[in-house]
């Protein structure tokens, strides 16, 4: 009786499973770091990887692509990195276990290659999204190196056919799909919501009917109070630009010209942070007593087509948005139209932008003629040169009484209630001592 020859036992080099596990765990750690950085940005701080307008993680994280992906999945891109990383780590861990215990390798190879294939496909999509954002994200590059490294090892260093056989698909998909689904559900259900400003309205009144700012600040969470104390200390010791004596006169001002707090804000019509700043400033105007605050609108489009400080040239929509607002500055409904433009930010095209901007007191013909005029272009270049005094790394850019400031709603509220004095006792009495200058923002 002839016996069927034994099939060769597949083996894997010892370093391969451990390398896969290390790459996966490194991606989990990097994604968690990115998520914390994103929440810092959402709270009004600055990410450590936001170097300038061109090397700027914030621009990529808040691009239209990232916003759409987050809306579709319920998690930011960094959260999706955690989902993939944990699935990849569990699959690699199963492979380590099989290799160490002498069990068949093929059932462990299949799920590892599945998450590797997903990594390669998703990386291509994310790279395209980063390119469309017009900025370089250094931590995103780290992600691509880790996940593509995982995919390369999975397909290049593991034995056996690359594609699952007809009876292997359950093994190939079951473990990674189960871990990914469980991780996504847990993150979706238990991840804290985006930090909000929650400025006081009518509660907590102090003298003269004004909100009691000390009481409000004392009620904020301890990490927020410490961050606010640090930001106020930085603001107090940061000098105004040396060229302050030659600053251009305001073209458009909302509020009293003699208000003790003068906010200048430079925005980009497609910048999500700028939209949130616009909403925060409106909330701020409703929260502080009349006469305390004046807001000056300026523009800094992140498009090299009109901004010489930005190397990448876009489709011109950001430039058109800035010029359209400049052309509406004398219109009585400017602020209403600006709110409408920001509200439609995610779906703006050139045609819809012009339609919204000309839906009020300025006709489409007048608007288009102004946008094409050298006068509007000159005003935009004035704004860009003005912003350059503050060494911008992105948008929004905010200055208070000539000094660079963070666009954090609670910071803007506290400084406005203190009439622009960051050392006022009404603030320092309610906040912990500021940390040293090296403290994180």
Q: Specify the CATH number for the domain of residue 384.
A: 3.40.30.10
| Residue 209 in domain | no
| Residue 129 in domain | yes
Q: Coil, strand or helix: which one is 434? A: coil
User: Which residue segment(s) compose the domain that 169 sits in?
Assistant: 15-190
- Whether 162 and 245 map to the same domain: the answer is no
- Whether 184 and 253 map to the same domain: the answer is no
| Residue 50 in domain | yes
- Whether 262 and 141 map to the same domain: the answer is no
| Residue 137 in domain | yes
| Residue 212 in domain | no
Per-residue confidence in pLDDT tens, the chain, 441 aa = 455 445 455 788 989 999 999 999 999 999 999 888 877 666 555 677 777 666 778 777 766 677 677 777 888 888 899 999 999 999 999 999 999 999 999 999 999 999 999 988 988 888 887 776 667 788 888 999 999 999 999 999 999 998 899 899 999 999 999 999 999 999 888 766 555 556 776 434 444 445 588 888 988 888 788 888 988 999 999 988 876 666 778 898 999 999 999 999 999 999 888 888 999 898 898 889 999 999 999 999 999 999 999 888 889 999 999 999 999 999 999 999 999 999 999 889 999 999 999 999 999 999 999 999 999 999 999 999 999 999 887 889 999 999 999 888 889 999 999 999 999 999 999 999 988 654 444
Single out the residue in 190, 217, 232 at which a domain terminates: 190
- Whether 273 and 146 map to the same domain: the answer is no
| Residue 440 in domain | no
- Whether 64 and 139 map to the same domain: the answer is yes
Q: Number of folded domains in the chain?
A: 2
396 cis-preceded (ω within 30 degrees of 0): yes
- Whether 168 and 246 map to the same domain: the answer is no
pLDDT at site 61: 75
- Whether 387 and 267 map to the same domain: the answer is yes
- Whether 86 and 169 map to the same domain: the answer is yes
Q: At what angle do helices 138-156 and 15-42 cross, to 10 degrees?
A: 160
| Residue 427 in domain | no
pLDDT at site 130: 74
Q: How far apart are CA 264 and CA 404, in angstroms?
A: 9
DSSP state of 297: E
Single out the residue in 152, 170, 190 at which a domain terminates: 190
- Whether 255 and 396 map to the same domain: the answer is yes
pLDDT at site 189: 83
Does residue 116 contact residue 150 with C-beta atoms inside 8 Å? Answer: yes
Phi, psi (5° rounding) for residue 425? -65, -25
pLDDT at site 439: 43
| Residue 222 in domain | no
- Whether 253 and 132 map to the same domain: the answer is no
The closest alpha carbon to 116, from 152, 90, 145, 143, belongs to 152
Dihedral over alpha carbons 165, 171, 177, 183 (to 10 degrees): -150
Q: Coil, strand or helix: which one is 404? A: strand
Single out the residue in 153, 169, 190 at which a domain terminates: 190
pLDDT at site 4: 47
pLDDT at site 248: 78
- Whether 257 and 394 map to the same domain: the answer is yes
Residue 173 in tokens: 């998909």
* Partner residues linked to 293 by β-bridges: 261
Q: Which helix (H) or strand (E) holds 239?
A: none
């Amino acid at each position: 009786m002839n016996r069927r020859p034994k099939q060769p036992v597949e083996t894997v080099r010892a370093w391969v499973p451990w390398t896969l596990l290390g790459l996966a765990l490194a991606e989990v750690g990097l994604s968690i770091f990115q998520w914390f950085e994103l929440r810092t940005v959402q709270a009004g701080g600055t990410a450590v990887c936001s170097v300038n307008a061109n090397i700027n993680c914030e621009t990529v994280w808040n691009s239209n692509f990232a916003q759409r992906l987050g809306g579709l999945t319920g998690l930011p891109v960094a959260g999706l990195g955690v989902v993939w990383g944990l699935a990849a780590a569990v699959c690699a861990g199963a492979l380590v276990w099989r290799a160490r215990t002498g069990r068949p390798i093929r059932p462990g190879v299949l799920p590892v290659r599945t998450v590797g294939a997903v990594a390669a496909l998703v990386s291509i999509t994310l790279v395209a999204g980063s390119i469309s954002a017009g900025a370089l994200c250094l931590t995103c590059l780290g992600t691509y190196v880790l996940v593509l490294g995982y995919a390369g090892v999975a397909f290049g260093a593991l034995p056996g056919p690359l594609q699952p056989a007809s009876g292997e698909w359950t093994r190939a998909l079951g473990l990674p799909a189960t871990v990914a689904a469980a991780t996504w559900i847990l993150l979706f259900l238990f991840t804290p919501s985006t930090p909000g400003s929650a400025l006081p309205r009518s509660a907590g009144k102090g003298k003269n009917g004004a909100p009691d700012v000390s009481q409000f600040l004392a009620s904020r969470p301890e990490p927020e109070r410490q961050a606010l104390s640090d930001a106020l200390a930085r603001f107090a010791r940061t000098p105004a630009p040396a060229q302050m004596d030659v600053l251009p006169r305001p073209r458009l001002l909302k509020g009293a010209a003699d208000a003790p707090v003068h906010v200048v804000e430079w925005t980009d019509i497609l910048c999500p942070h700028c939209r949130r700043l616009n909403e925060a400033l409106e909330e701020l105007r409703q929260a502080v007593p009349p006469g305390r605050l004046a807001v000056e609108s300026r523009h800094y489009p992140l498009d090299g087509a009109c901004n010489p400080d930005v190397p990448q040239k876009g489709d011109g929509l950001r430039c058109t948005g800035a010029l359209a607002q400049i052309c509406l500055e004398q219109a009585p409904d400017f602020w209403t139209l600006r709110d409408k433009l920001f509200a439609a930010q995610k779906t703006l095209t050139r045609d819809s932008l012009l339609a919204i901007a000309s839906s009020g007191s300025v006709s489409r013909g007048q608007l288009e003629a102004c946008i094409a005029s050298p006068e509007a272009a000159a005003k935009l270049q004035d704004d860009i040169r003005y912003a350059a005094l503050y060494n911008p790394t992105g948008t929004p850019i905010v200055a208070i009484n000539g000094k660079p400031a963070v666009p954090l709603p609670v910071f803007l509220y506290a400084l406005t209630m203190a009439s622009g004095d960051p050392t006022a006792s009404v603030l320092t009495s309610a906040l912990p001592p500021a940390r040293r200058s090296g403290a994180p923002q």
